[in-house]
Amino acid sequence: MAKDVLCEVNSCKYWAAGNLCNASSIYVVNNRDNKHAAHSSETDCKTFEPKL
């Protein structure tokens, strides 16, 4: 398991200094109809929640 998860989306409530993600778990899904992503652009982070 990854020790540090990097994230540049500073508008997410889980974003932390140093571009770290402080969520307790990460959920990434395929954004295409088929289930076999070939590129990162074919995936989405469902863990994202906007900062309020």
Q: Which of 9, 52, 48, 44 is nearest to 25 (CA)?
A: 48
Quick check: 22 and 30 in contact, CB under 8 A?
no
Cα–Cα distance measured from residue 43 to residue 18, given in angstroms and rounded to the nearest whole number: 23
- pLDDT higher than threshold 80 for residue 2: no
Per-residue pLDDT averaged across 20-33, rounded? Answer: 93
E strand segments, the chain: 15-16, 20-21, 28-30, 43-45
Sequence-distant (6+) residues with CB within 8 A of 49 are 12, 13, 14
- Given a cut of 80, whether residue 1 has pLDDT beyond it is no
**pTM (2 d.p.):** 0.81
CA 28 to chain centroid, in Å, comes to 6
